[in-house]
Structure 1
Amino acid sequence: MYKILVVGYGSNPGGIERFITNYCSQFDNKKVQVDILGNDPEPLAFEDKIKAWGGKIYILNMPTIKKNPVKHFTRLENVTKKIFPNYDCIWFNTLDLKNIELIKKARKLQVPKIIIHSHNSKWSNKVSVIDNIRHEINKKRIIKYGTDFWACSESAKEWLFPPTLYSKVKIINNAIDVKNFEFDFNARKVIRNKHNLNDSLVLGNVGRLTQQKNQVFSLKIIQKLSKKIPNLKLILLGQGEDEALLRKKVKELKIEKNVIFAGVQKNINDWYSAFDLLLLTSLYEGLPLTAVEAQANGVTMVANKTVIPDQAIINNNLKLLSLEDDPEIWANKILDLYLNNKLKREDNRKIEDNLKKSGFDIKLEAGKVQQLIMGNH
């Protein structure tokens, strides 16, 4: 049995957690054992699915160096020495390289295969100068520690790896189980009834409530659009450090009647069915899994053009705009789609075909990734 340890998994059901779960739940558990090293002390996202494929869960539970340096390094040493030598492969899923202690430990403990997988394309504006310096230094050092280098897109490749590594980096698509995201009329009915949305134009935004996801820009669009479509609703799915700031912004813009904070939802596929349009205003992304999921559902999407790489343009009802444009321009685009009856979903059979051709069908992609991990085993 080939043993894989996946690192980079937290309690928030975000893009990385969904990506890992999508792939690992499709691997052949007669050939591979896939376990998870979690970052957070609380229950991990999708723990039920990890247990369903037979995965063990380890929790790092390590305080930061600032908070308790002695405990940090003691815990790091103990966990890695105890766990890492048991694995044929450790698959590190990461957003940046400010801290590569775990990767270095994997190399020191002679783990045969060390995959470093980039899922991001930029820093938050809130990042410290020290973290930025660490990231840039570690970019140059990473070739010494990894054996395999992966990224979800070209921009994610360029963000995490130095140019000398570009030719070795494999692009791994953020593939999904297409059937799970098919439009479901009954799910739409249930959610819209529950939240009194039946007479509304419903826009959705899915993602952590944080600066990167740029929900403030979405709120400005809603303010402009609500003057033209009074029965407008924006559903914010997710939670995060910017929630208080966003709630304050909603009051400031006087759009309390138009915005619903729905929190984290596990049945995210049902929510896509409830939306009439998905609004994606992120400042940056590696490759937004939300964009793939929404296109599998067929819902119309209006998105920031800089965060949707060409490989992720799957359906014809994906509209791309610039964050440099005034929110009024975005509002007018959505108004045009609404008034001219262009908020139509793509046909399910066409979607399935599109996703297969684009390399985003997990049923086809998981086998390829498993083979990449296992090599000749």
Structure 2
Amino acid sequence: MKKILFVIGSLQAGGAERVATNLCSYWAEHADLDVTLVTSNVADSDFYKLSDKVKRLSIDFSFNNSSILSVVKEQFSRFFKIHSVLKQQAPDIIVLSTTEISIRFLFNLIFSRKKIIVCEHNNYYALSSTFKRLCRTVLYKKASHVFVLTERDRVTYLEKKIVADNKIVVMPNPLGIECESPNIDKQENLLLAVGRLCEQKSFDRLIEAMSDINPNFILKILGDGPDKQALQKKIDDLSLGSRVELVGKVKDISKYYQSATLLLMTSKFEGLPMVINEANNFGVPVISFDCPTGPAEMIENNSNGLLVKNGDIIGFSDTVNNLISKPEALASMRNVSIKMSKEYSISVITSKWLKFFDIEQS
């Protein structure tokens, strides 16, 4: 039985963290794999629950370093903690998920001959630090494969000469949750948005758009983050308190998908947003800004959703209003959405992963 060590910063609420939880759990349940998931955060902070068949470890990095000396000491400590985990676990395959933790582990794996898969969850340009970009350029060459989410990113990594053509792979995320019985007869006038309340997701643009969207519809935004106070102020300033709600973190998102008419996205940039496929799986079409990267790769206009020029808030409102005024077109898109989402089921995506592990799915 092959041993897989899956590394990610934490299992706190987030898309990459949900992917890690679902993949590791599914691999342990349905494939001939001994799976261990390790994070740099303590397990007490976990938002998602792993299968009992997955071993759970924490390196327990310290994030409270007030002086330069303590920061330097912590960096050395982290190096030796990672070394200890790698030595004790002795995995056959190492999966590194998200950029920062990948870079940190790759420093320890420079001379390793093990199979290493780096799994990116955002587009190439989302990493702003010049130093981290340099580390990525140098260290990713050590990986056996680098998984990216879109063809656009694959081309960018090749153009930047990060890795060779035979090492870069487009690997989409699986559905975070799957719906066996979608409710295609939506009765509630509910518009839904999902994501961290931060600058990237740009929910301020969505709130502004709501001012010109059919007043019979309400918007619920699921998620938490640093922009919560500013977004609530914008809601209040636009007198949208009765129509826009910041719901917060939600563990059971399925009940919202089952009731939603549309999923709305106004992000400035993305990787390959899972919420598009998840919403589609529940029969919910998606209207999104055509931001880099992800929406254009996942949305076929008038099939499972609609794309709007990035930043065109008036055009976004008009697109929403036009679609919700055409029940027959909306019903057709619901059915197509469900069919298109099937290619992202966890069983389909797992079969693609297992080819790189050189094993077959049971």
TM-score, normalized by the shorter chain, greater than 0.5: yes
State the distance in 1 between where 2:140 and 2:318 align.
Answer: 48
1:275 equivalenced with 2:272 (yes/no): no
SS at match of 1:344: helix
- 1:157 Cα deviation from its structure 2 partner: 3.4
- 1:210 Cα deviation from its structure 2 partner: 0.6
1:135 equivalenced with 2:132 (yes/no): yes
Structure 1 match to 2:150: 153
The amino acid that maps onto 1:35 is: T
The amino acid that maps onto 2:24 is: C
Is this contact kept in 2: 1:62–1:71, CA < 8 A?
no
State the distance in 2 between where 1:92 and 1:241 align.
Answer: 26
The amino acid that maps onto 1:153 is: T
1:319 equivalenced with 2:306 (yes/no): yes
Q: CA distance change for structure 1 residues 178 and 17 in 2, over 3 Å: closer, same or farther?
A: closer
Q: TM-score, normalised by structure 2?
A: 0.85
Structure 2 match to 1:107: 110
Structure 2 match to 1:169: 168
Structure 2 match to 1:92: 96
- 1:237 Cα deviation from its structure 2 partner: 0.3
The amino acid that maps onto 1:343 is: L
- 1:185 Cα deviation from its structure 2 partner: 7.5
SS at match of 1:319: strand
State the distance in 1 between where 2:39 and 2:216 align.
Answer: 42
Q: TM-score, normalised by structure 1?
A: 0.82
The amino acid that maps onto 2:220 is: I
Structure 1 match to 2:236: 251
SS at match of 1:157: helix
Structure 2 match to 1:23: 23
1:286 equivalenced with 2:284 (yes/no): no
Aligned residues: 348
State the distance in 2 between where 1:310 and 1:334 align.
Answer: 17
- 1:14 Cα deviation from its structure 2 partner: 1.5
State the distance in 2 between where 1:312 and 1:230 align.
Answer: 29
Structure 2 match to 1:233: 218
- 1:84 Cα deviation from its structure 2 partner: 1.0
Unaligned runs of 5+ in 1: 189-197
Q: CA distance change for structure 1 residues 181 and 329 in 2, over 3 Å: closer, same or farther?
A: farther
Q: CA distance change for structure 1 residues 223 and 135 in 2, over 3 Å: closer, same or farther?
A: same
Q: CA distance change for structure 1 residues 43 and 111 in 2, over 3 Å: closer, same or farther?
A: farther
The amino acid that maps onto 1:208 is: R
- 1:274 Cα deviation from its structure 2 partner: 1.5
Structure 1 match to 2:7: 7
Alignment of 1:120-131 (within 5 A): 120-121=122-123
Residue of 116, 119, 123 corresponding to 1:117: 119
Structure 2 match to 1:33: 34
CA deviations 1:61-101 (Å, max 9, x no partner) are 2134964324423431342122113211211111x459822
Alignment of 1:53-92 (within 5 A): 54-64=53-63, 67=66, 68-85=70-87, 86-92=90-96
The amino acid that maps onto 1:81 is: H
State the distance in 1 between where 2:63 and 2:125 align.
Answer: 20
Structure 1 match to 2:314: 328
State the distance in 1 between where 2:162 and 2:109 align.
Answer: 22
Q: CA distance change for structure 1 residues 141 and 66 in 2, over 3 Å: closer, same or farther?
A: farther
User: Percent of aligned positions with the same letter in both sequences?
Assistant: 22
SS at match of 1:165: coil
State the distance in 1 between where 2:113 and 2:64 align.
Answer: 25
Q: CA distance change for structure 1 residues 102 and 64 in 2, over 3 Å: closer, same or farther?
A: farther
Residue of 344, 351, 362 corresponding to 1:367: 351
Q: CA distance change for structure 1 residues 55 and 18 in 2, over 3 Å: closer, same or farther?
A: same
CA deviations 1:128-182 (Å, max 9, x no partner) are xxx5211331233024432221111123435666335251201111122774365
State the distance in 2 between where 1:334 and 1:146 align.
Answer: 43
Is this contact kept in 2: 1:235–1:262, CA < 8 A?
yes
Q: What's the C-alpha RMSD, in Å, of the aligned pairs? A: 2.9
Once structures 1 and 2 are overlaid, which stretch shifts more, 155-164 or 252-261? 155-164
